[in-house]
Structure 1
């Protein structure tokens, strides 16, 4: 008999032998003080023993090829060995497991943030990291790679900065000093909440938001959340909403639906959620700024038990869709977790409005905790409106937990808003430095027409050319002999397209008399040169490729040969080197792969 054929039954049995689900792997953290749910796959009818430390249980694989069992709760500790059938997980710890999910601002890596060096150097003991591969699935799955790792400079570089900052802040609680912590990063940039639902959206079809890559509802739950549902968790952090900000009217219900779906999937009906409110941002989706989505996030928390809001509008200047100030967001989330879930007594909740009453031409507001002015001498961030619905800035006087408002332009105030708009200019906090939840007492339809500040612009002039940058980190003008070669106005200048509009390179560093760096998280544009030429360097430190667009004035003719374009306007010519392609009549595109840089040289 052919020996290879004789081995086939044995090989098949080995391939289908009972094993743990991939999330139960070496280096992992299991949830302390709760019954341990363990699961895996195998041959239907197969009996196996599951053992962790001194505990063991016997179970059987069901007709669908799945098995599960429950062990008694363990206190914090380890390391242990976990065995089940033919699989073994070493270096298993018992502690607190936190799920950290959302879109790009949750995905943003430690190496990209403002305090990267400090965070990369931190080495708290007994912390493990798990990052789910980004990808969807048409149906729920358990399989997929899942590797738990210890934190070091390499494993932290692209690990969620918010999740890591949260973990570091948890370690500041003395009672958690020796409790192992597991941080699970399941995030995917450019995605709407619909993709993370376990069930179809319960809102009208016209209110559904789309994700990048044409992801349908439920696909990210199937591919990134369902595989980790066998793992009991202490709670979940959710930082998402940018992709849904064009339809804020649906978001509160969708977010509540997601929390219900996940709680059912985890068999944890009181699973804590920490909803990270969107920070300040100057941009708009469908004509709406983020204030309306923030309102929906707050509403979802108010209407859901064991869900808390993390207020963040004061953590950034508002000119960056992916702000680098993630450390404070992690700290505020950890303060809430330490109080609401772990039972520590400390100020952590954002102040909230409790009541409003009118006395003559004044509005008296009462908050649920005392407030202080964090900057300046007088409270700001309040606007009042009368029956005409026209809002005016209010004068405010603070007395502990009470704020008294009035405006010379509003004799009979009807409504008040606080910290409202794309970039709230408010200066009140509680004793922990946490600002009040933004609010409004009116029910007027969304309207985002508002004056807002802009960052500084710069200009470089030489005898041969003049270059100007705009408010949001774009080159808005390049003139030779007084003739503009770059288009001005809407759609002009340089930009990097995203689903949320042009990416703002609004962090500006003057790095020398003739060197300006415009940047945003993983992307930078360095402008330099000499009297005769202008050199632009586009650097992309992210994983994904980008397209850098240059919109030319319609009066400019273009002759593109290879990577060199000759531009001509009214008898004046400019050569540009480093172009990848042309889009239409008046747009040049420079393609920059991930972790690469591309030079663009203008030669007047």
Structure 2
């Protein structure tokens, strides 16, 4: 999903071998540097790299340990648990004279905050930002931001440098607001140093954050996982195989016969001269001024026999906004969902031919400006020897619209934001077994178009991350999607609502997870609501309950079951501190009764009965009861502490 935070969310394409540009492995891993926070009250793993067999002495305060690097040149020391405090110096030395130090390290609690743009949303964008930034001065609240990168394999090192920094107005300005406000509450209640790791990326789907080990256990992921592994070994072959799937999808949606598709030289249709490589909203074509959909671009490039026979050829294009499917001589060469980033697709031997070669690019835009953009230098056939053949100027290109309603194409499993494991590999795997108190997760908007199975995906991700961090009971705080989008006068189906319920179900199945309900904190016209302060408060409340012995309900009113009692359905709740209350009406509203099929729901009157809600069934049968359903529903059921009841769907028994 493209978002209004677009300028801050430039997306790299997932390359075949991104690890080649990785920094050299240091003696002391970059997680351990000046101002870092180490997790209290549990053994402290410290690691790095040294020559195979090298003896490494690790000292933290009065703790000292001697270990040896393994045959791969990796070493790890597990220091005894320490209580909160500091500052300490961590020193590492080898027998051959190598050394590294990290100063001003604190022992406290470490939280990993991750997800897409609402977790990435910075303090500088919140309500009252100037005041919040001005008072952000806490030397014992330390911040680290992981740069947006992807990799085809789990990385031991970060592909880009990371840095721990104390909280100041300068360091907090671009840091995750929800994460910061959560930790600020916890600092006030726990009185210990806190370390926050911000590993976020707007617009990303959950599969990009799931490690391959989790995907391997998912029956629904096996075909794409096999294709992903093929891509790792042979990108051109995998792109061709996926392109054939994409082509079949397009034919089914467009009605084009084989041989008459836009990527064929004989493609029929009204092709017009391309005005420019600006977004199509700027071409002065009235039909494109507000157009969200697919356009086709095509051109020809002439190659000599020598050029066509060269090895290591690639198709280079400017950025495509949002998604492109690119073809050379009718052969699919690449599909990418990423905006603001030039494309570079390897071409399999035999794709190019002497003489004229047809380049065709289908570009899908789903929000804001769309099109194929960039500079002339970004559009060329490039060869491994460094030579290239430029593609034509705009006058040498043509365009035409795709049929209306083709919809959302299939996604390649190596895409940066919607593919498999790439973001996990580069942004979470390098954190290694670093000690954590817990993790906060705010994501799901990018999965709202295909919400089925999200609960299982989230559950598998939590389990896999817990395995990495060596803590099976690691607390997870899940920020539920807030409201966004049009309000409607009747029951509707909603991908956003289903994601909220999938998040609820994932938390219900996990004794070490809590849900921060945010349905009342949204904005119908902005997918990034600015009230992140209350999101932070609710995440902190969940953390208090899961990790610090807090007595308050972690998530507010929680539906347990729905049962028929004569002509009514009784919905039982737990977790309503100080009882259930309704705002702005004597009765709760937003309840629906539904049959088994989509579109069968009807609003139903309801009343409070202690810790239950009684829903009037009337004469119609009901298989399901829903509450607070829709993109931006209006709901008024809370508990006495001001926490809203979670949106939900339950079977009626």
Q: TM-score, normalised by structure 2?
A: 0.61
Quote the Cα distance in structure 1 between the aligned partners of 2:447 and 2:595. Answer: 31
Secondary structure at 2:453 match in 1: helix
Q: Which residue of 2 aligns with 1:597?
A: none
Question: Cα distance 1:196–1:412, how it changes in 2: closer, same or farther (>3 A)?
Answer: closer
Which deviations, in whole Å up to 9, do the C-alpha atoms of 1:332-361 show, x marking residues without a partner? 010010111111222332211223333332
Which of these residues, 432, 443, 447, is aligned with residue 229 of structure 1? 432
Quote the Cα distance in structure 2 between the aligned partners of 1:83 and 1:29. Answer: 15
Bigger share in helix: 2
Which of these residues, 185, 196, 205, is aligned with residue 169 of structure 1? 185
Cα RMSD for the two superposed structures: 2.5
Question: Cα distance 1:66–1:420, how it changes in 2: closer, same or farther (>3 A)?
Answer: same
1:155 is aligned to 2:171: yes
Q: Which residue of 1 aligns with 2:59?
A: 51
The Cα of 1:390 is off from its aligned counterpart by 3.4
Quote the Cα distance in structure 1 between the aligned partners of 2:198 and 2:449. Answer: 26
1:415 is aligned to 2:624: yes
Secondary structure at 2:109 match in 1: strand
Q: TM-score, normalised by structure 1?
A: 0.66
Secondary structure at 2:171 match in 1: helix
Q: Which residue of 2 aligns with 1:376?
A: 585
Question: Cα distance 1:207–1:106, how it changes in 2: closer, same or farther (>3 A)?
Answer: farther
* 1:247-266 correspondence to structure 2 within 5 Å: 247-266=450-469
Question: Cα distance 1:211–1:280, how it changes in 2: closer, same or farther (>3 A)?
Answer: farther
Quote the Cα distance in structure 1 between the aligned partners of 2:165 and 2:518. Answer: 29
Q: Which residue of 2 aligns with 1:331?
A: 537
Greater RCO (Cα-Cα under 8 Å, separation 6 or more): 2
Which of these residues, 394, 419, 433, is aligned with residue 642 of structure 2? 433
* 1:63-82 correspondence to structure 2 within 5 Å: 63-82=71-90
Which deviations, in whole Å up to 9, do the C-alpha atoms of 1:476-496 show, x marking residues without a partner? xxxxxxxxxxxxxxxxxxxxx
Question: Cα distance 1:394–1:57, how it changes in 2: closer, same or farther (>3 A)?
Answer: same
Q: Which residue of 2 aligns with 1:127?
A: 141
Quote the Cα distance in structure 2 between the aligned partners of 1:425 and 1:163. Answer: 27
Unaligned stretches of 5+ residues in structure 2 = 1-22, 94-98, 226-322, 324-335, 340-414, 488-492
The Cα of 1:172 is off from its aligned counterpart by 3.5
Quote the Cα distance in structure 2 between the aligned partners of 1:24 and 1:211. Answer: 35
* 1:181-580 correspondence to structure 2 within 5 Å: 181-199=194-212, 201=215, 202-205=218-221, 212=338, 214-215=415-416, 216-282=419-485, 288-368=494-574, 369=576, 370-385=579-594, 390-406=600-616, 410-442=619-651
Question: Cα distance 1:266–1:385, how it changes in 2: closer, same or farther (>3 A)?
Answer: closer
Q: Which residue of 1 aligns with 2:268?
A: none
Quote the Cα distance in structure 2 between the aligned partners of 1:112 and 1:80. Answer: 35
Quote the Cα distance in structure 2 between the aligned partners of 1:273 and 1:32. Answer: 18
Quote the Cα distance in structure 2 between the aligned partners of 1:31 and 1:283. Answer: 44
Quote the Cα distance in structure 1 between the aligned partners of 2:118 and 2:596. Answer: 39
Quote the Cα distance in structure 1 between the aligned partners of 2:224 and 2:581. Answer: 39
Bigger share in strand: 1
Question: Cα distance 1:241–1:169, how it changes in 2: closer, same or farther (>3 A)?
Answer: same
The Cα of 1:411 is off from its aligned counterpart by 4.8
Quote the Cα distance in structure 1 between the aligned partners of 2:337 and 2:462. Answer: 19
Secondary structure at 1:150 match in 2: strand
The Cα of 1:377 is off from its aligned counterpart by 3.0
Q: Is the 8 A contact 1:371 1:400 kept in 2?
A: yes
Unaligned stretches of 5+ residues in structure 1 = 1-14, 444-604
